Amino acid sequence: MKKRIALENWELGKIDGNSSAGEVEEWISIDKPSDVHTCLIDKGIIQDPIFGFASDETRWVEKCTWIYRCSFLLSKEDISQKHLSLLFEGLDTYAEVYMNDVRVSTFENMFVEHHLQLDGLVQSGKNTLVVVFPPFHEIYGKKELPEGFWINYSTERAYARKAGYNFGWDWTPSVMTVGIWKPVELCITDSVVIRRLDVQSSLSDDYTVCTVKLKPLYEGVCPEDAKAIIKVYENEKFLFQKELISSEFTINNALLWYPREAGEQNLYTVQLSLVSSSGELLDSAARTFGVRRVEFITEDVDGRKMFLTRVNGRDIFSKGANWVPVSNRPGAVSDEYYDEMLRLVEQAGMKVIR
């Protein structure tokens, strides 16, 4: 048995100041979680801080404690499974997590996923998840760099694992938003889960044989008699299938990936499946990758300094540009909008984005 359920139908509430005092007077319904400012904009409570003097007019948002609340149901069968966990894809930044009124964890990094084991913390029937975000400025300034160390702007922000542009930049005022800025998923299984699948590829000297190394990250216990089966696709067409004995396999006569205007963008997809001895699919994961060798040449044949990009033996002119974040609220940007921005980048003839 395996379930993956995206938690939706959240509520958002606030307490003036720190969470150590006060109660939420009013809850706001939100379909799916996003950062606080985006939720308030969507509800018409505040204006977008990027325009006019709205950043000053909405400064009160940063002085409040914000609380996200969500309830979900579990059956007795769900509770009986070996592994129950939550996946927070993005929490910005300092977060306290409560399950059924019990404080179970704290997190301090918006850039990474957070996993929370629920064994012994949940019950059959209704369960309530609460995530509390205290005022950011009350926490991030408590730890400063030692004397003699220096960074741009204020030194205390060096320890805050938070997007730097929230502190202000040349394209945005300071907007110190917080909140659940990516989806939250409930995972229920009686066996093993593939949390992540990393792929590393390397090419032979003649660029014809690709060696692929898989690095899966598992959660739970995989049965000893389980088999790992891989399926490999070349430009979405099935190429081969095999039982994976070791973590490596090879692709002969591999089609290479090149930057745009320098060659084809050939892609491979590898799907890893864990199958029990009875043939039951325990879990699967897939990654898409391009086969290439990228080199940076810093000296010419006479030893003079230079900088050149070489891809699969071909010298490439790397026309590129800086990517300025498309919003100071990362949770507000859809995948479709990113696709459109990258399409415009492609139309501009760029090969590299920094």
Q: What does the pLDDT read at residue 17?
A: 67
Q: What does the pLDDT read at residue 146?
A: 72
Cα–Cα distance, 266 to 234 (Å, whole number): 8
pLDDT tens for residues 2-17? 788 999 999 999 998 6
H helices, E strands: number in the chain: 5, 24
Share of the chain above pLDDT 70, in %: 95
CATH of domain 2-188: 2.60.120.260
Domain residue spans of the chain:
2-188, 192-289, 294-353
Question: What count of other Cβ atoms lies within 10 Å of the Cβ of residue 307?
Answer: 9
Indicate whether 214 pLDDT > 70.
yes
Q: Is pLDDT larger for residue 83 or for residue 183?
A: 183
Residue recorded with tokens 């699969």: 312
Q: What does the pLDDT read at residue 31?
A: 84
Q: What does the pLDDT read at residue 140?
A: 80
Q: What does the pLDDT read at residue 224?
A: 79
Question: What count of other Cβ atoms lies within 10 Å of the Cβ of residue 83?
Answer: 18
The model scores a pTM over 0.85:
yes
pLDDT tens for residues 107-133? 999 999 999 999 889 999 999 999 999
Give the mean model confidence (pLDDT) for residues 302-314: 92
Q: What does the pLDDT read at residue 245?
A: 82
Cβ-proximal residues to 32 (8 Å cutoff; 6+ apart), any chain:
6, 8, 10, 183
Indicate whether 1 pLDDT > 70.
no
Phi-psi region at 220: left, alpha or beta (left = phi > 0; alpha = psi -120 to 50): left
Average pLDDT, the chain: 90
Cα–Cα distance, 251 to 265 (Å, whole number): 17
The model's confidence at residue 49, banded by pLDDT at 50, 70 and 90, is very high
Indicate whether 19 pLDDT > 60.
no
Q: What does the pLDDT read at residue 45?
A: 95
Q: What are phi and psi of 47, to 5 degrees?
A: -90, 165
Of the CATH numbers 1.10.10.60, 1.10.287.470, 2.60.40.1930, 2.60.40.10, which one belongs to the domain with range 192-289? 2.60.40.10
Q: Is pLDDT larger for residue 331 or for residue 92?
A: 92
> Cβ distance 274 to 222 under 8 Å?
yes
> Cβ distance 33 to 10 under 8 Å?
yes
Indicate whether 266 pLDDT > 80.
yes
pLDDT tens for residues 252-263? 999 999 998 889
pLDDT tens for residues 132-189? 999 998 888 777 777 767 666 666 677 889 998 998 888 899 999 999 999 999 999 8
Question: What count of other Cβ atoms lies within 10 Å of the Cβ of residue 42?
Answer: 14
Give the mean model confidence (pLDDT) for residues 207-217: 94
The model's confidence at residue 233, banded by pLDDT at 50, 70 and 90, is very high
